[in-house]
Amino acid sequence: MSAHGPRKPREAETTSAPATGLLTKLKAVPSATNEDGFFSSLYLFDRAFGLRPLAGLDEAGRGPLAGPLVAACVILPEDFDHKLIDDSKKLKAETLKQAFDLITSKAINWSYALRTPKEVDELNPLWASMSAMGELLESFQPRPALALVDGNKLPISQVKLKAVVHGDAKSLSIAAASIIAKVIRDQLMDEEHARYPQYGFNKHKGYGTKEHLETLARYGPSPIHRLTFRHVRPNETGPVGPRLF
């Protein structure tokens, strides 16, 4: 998907918890899962805003040296909660896949948008992320009464937005979006590994690991590397290996 153009992300008043009396009341409920008749703290965080439909947005892939950036948006049912849903960075691969299957089967709606390595280079990672999120919100149905966005910046949108720093560890909806974005991006990087096996994309997913930097020095950048990134730009880190592409 192509970008709509580099529009500056909105500065946001961030939040660590909803400023409503409902949260105080809900905190009295033990933090567990609704399988046992209780609700997780992530579910209670979302519930305390008192607005429905509530969407969560997050991205995967702002930092890697290679591959696309993936943003995801999801609206969960009002009574949905599950112990599998958590910050995607905390989950092992098998649990991530289980959580992804659960979210995509139970969600009212979910979607994702991609920004190519070239678009990330042109826009920069933050603007690429905001552009993808804005694209998702533009056509997302049902239209959210509120969308929670991970981080401290907000995309351009007519939808009411709230930035939540470390939101993937606080909000069920953001955590669900983070899982969708990560699983889809990991799958895409596995496909890229089949095209460019010498780089080991199936292991590091494009992040700047020691192994990845060594292959960059040996082979030079592939067509999916981000040429404006440190360790890929030869003028900042010294010459990389001969280009194979």
pLDDT truncated to tens, each residue of the chain (245 aa)? 433 333 445 555 444 444 333 433 344 344 444 555 678 999 999 999 999 999 999 999 999 999 999 999 999 999 999 999 999 999 999 999 999 999 999 999 999 999 999 999 999 999 999 999 999 999 999 999 999 999 999 999 999 999 999 999 999 999 999 999 999 999 999 999 999 999 999 999 999 999 999 999 999 999 999 999 988 986 554 445 566 66
- Residues 218 and 108 placed together within one structural domain of the fold: no
Among the listed residues 129, 177, 166, the one whose alpha carbon sits nearest the alpha carbon of residue 9: 129
pLDDT at 18: 46
Tell me whether residue 104 is in a domain.
yes
212 three-class SS: helix
Model-level pTM? Answer: 0.85
- Residues 233 and 112 placed together within one structural domain of the fold: no
Tell me whether residue 95 is in a domain.
yes
Say if CB 200 and CB 212 are below 8 A apart.
yes
- Residues 50 and 123 placed together within one structural domain of the fold: yes
Tell me whether residue 129 is in a domain.
yes
pLDDT at 28: 39
- Residues 158 and 55 placed together within one structural domain of the fold: yes
Q: Tell me the residue type at 156.
A: I
pLDDT at 7: 44
- Residues 189 and 211 placed together within one structural domain of the fold: no
pLDDT at 36: 58
Alpha-carbon gap, residue 63 to 125, rounded angstroms: 7
pLDDT at 19: 39
- Residues 53 and 144 placed together within one structural domain of the fold: yes
pLDDT at 233: 81
Q: Which residues contact 94 (CB under 8 A, 6 or more apart)?
A: none
Tell me whether residue 4 is in a domain.
no
Domain containing 14 — which CATH number? 3.30.420.10
pLDDT at 21: 39
Tell me whether residue 110 is in a domain.
yes
Tell me whether residue 177 is in a domain.
yes
pLDDT at 2: 38
- Residues 96 and 200 placed together within one structural domain of the fold: no
Among the listed residues 160, 162, 118, 113, the one whose alpha carbon sits nearest the alpha carbon of residue 135: 113
- Residues 67 and 88 placed together within one structural domain of the fold: yes
- Residues 82 and 169 placed together within one structural domain of the fold: yes
Tell me whether residue 5 is in a domain.
no
174 three-class SS: helix
- Residues 33 and 84 placed together within one structural domain of the fold: yes
- Residues 144 and 26 placed together within one structural domain of the fold: yes
Tell me whether residue 68 is in a domain.
yes
- Residues 224 and 124 placed together within one structural domain of the fold: no
Alpha-carbon gap, residue 238 to 228, rounded angstroms: 14
Structural domain for 208, as ranges:
196-237
- Overall domain count for the chain: 2
pLDDT at 38: 74
